[in-house]
Chain A
Amino acid sequence: MSRPIAVVAFAQLPSVRRDTAREETELVLPVVNAALEQAKLTRADIGFTCSGSSDYLLGRPFSFVSALDALAPWPPASESHVEMDGAWALYEAWVRLQCGDIDTALVYSYGKSSLGDLRDVLAQQLDPYYVAPLVPDSISLAALQARSLLDTGICSERDMAEVAMRSRRAAQDNPAAQVRKSADVQQLLSEPYLVAPLRKHDCPPISDGACALVLAALPAAERCSKHPVVIRGIDHRIEPHALGARDLTRSLSTQLAAKHAGALSGTFDLAELHAPFTHQELLLRRELQLGAAVKVNPSGGALAANPMMVAGLARIGEAAMRLARGEGRRALAHATSGPCLQQNLVCVLEAT
Chain B
Amino acid sequence: MSEPVKVVPMKVRLEYTVTAGRTYSSYLHALAQKRIVGGRCPSCIKVYVPPRGSCPTCGVPTGETVELQHSATVTTFCVVNIAFGAMPFKPPYVVASLLLDGADIPIFHLVRGIPADQVRMGLRVRALWVPDAELAPTVESIRWFEPSGEPDAAYETYEAHL
Interface majority SS on B: helix, strand, loop or mixed? Answer: loop
- Contact partner of B19 (CB less than 8 A), chosen from A22, A74, A124, is A22
- Chain A's interface size range is 20 to 34
Contact A72 B56 (CB under 8 A): yes
**CB of A59 closer than 8 Å to a CB of B:** yes
Segment of B20-28, B65-73, B93-101 in the binding face: B20-28
Which residues of B sit under 8 angstroms from A19, Cβ to Cβ?
19
Contact B52 A115 (CB under 8 A): no
Contact A22 B14 (CB under 8 A): no
List CB contacts (< 8 Å) of B38-62 with chain A: 52-59, 61
Determine the residue in chain A with the shortest Cβ distance to B23: A26
Contact B53 A23 (CB under 8 A): yes
**CB of B82 closer than 8 Å to a CB of A:** no
Contact B21 A23 (CB under 8 A): yes
Segment of A126-134, A198-206, A252-260 in the binding face: A126-134
Please report the C-alpha to C-alpha distance between residue A14 and residue B82 in the assembled complex, in whole angstroms.
48
Which residues of B sit under 8 angstroms from A121, Cβ to Cβ?
14
Nearest Cβ distance between residue A338 and chain B, in whole angstroms? Answer: 18
Nearest Cβ distance between residue A125 and chain B, in whole angstroms? Answer: 12
- Contact partner of A22 (CB less than 8 A), chosen from B17, B21, B55, is B21
Contact B22 A21 (CB under 8 A): yes
Which residues of A sit under 8 angstroms from B22, Cβ to Cβ?
21-23, 26
Q: A22-B22, A23-B20 are in contact. Are A117 and B15 (CB under 8 A)?
A: yes
Contact A72 B57 (CB under 8 A): yes
Contact A20 B19 (CB under 8 A): yes
Which residues of B sit under 8 angstroms from A116, Cβ to Cβ?
14-17
Nearest Cβ distance between residue A22 and chain B, in whole angstroms? Answer: 6
Q: A121-B14, A129-B8, A133-B8 are in contact. Are A70 and B19 (CB under 8 A)?
A: no
Please report the C-alpha to C-alpha distance between residue A56 and residue B58 in the assembled complex, in whole angstroms.
29
Contact B61 A29 (CB under 8 A): yes
Contact A69 B20 (CB under 8 A): no
Q: A112-B19, A115-B18 are in contact. Are A26 and B53 (CB under 8 A)?
A: yes
Determine the residue in chain A with the shortest Cβ distance to B43: A72
Residues of A participating in the B interface, judged by any CB pair closer than 8 Å: 19-26, 29, 32-33, 43, 56, 58-60, 68-74, 112, 115-117, 120-121, 124, 128-129, 132-133
A-B contact pairs, 29 of them (CB 8 A): A20-B19, A21-B19, A22-B19, A22-B22, A22-B53, A23-B22, A23-B23, A23-B24, A23-B53, A25-B53, A26-B21, A26-B23, A26-B54, A29-B59, A29-B61, A32-B59, A56-B14, A59-B18, A60-B16, A69-B54, A69-B59, A116-B16, A116-B17, A120-B14, A121-B14, A128-B8, A128-B10, A132-B10, A133-B10
Please give 14 more A-B residue pairs, beta carbons under 8 A apart, in addition to A68-B56, A133-B8. Answer: A20-B19, A22-B19, A22-B22, A24-B21, A59-B16, A60-B18, A69-B52, A72-B56, A74-B56, A115-B17, A116-B14, A121-B14, A124-B12, A128-B8
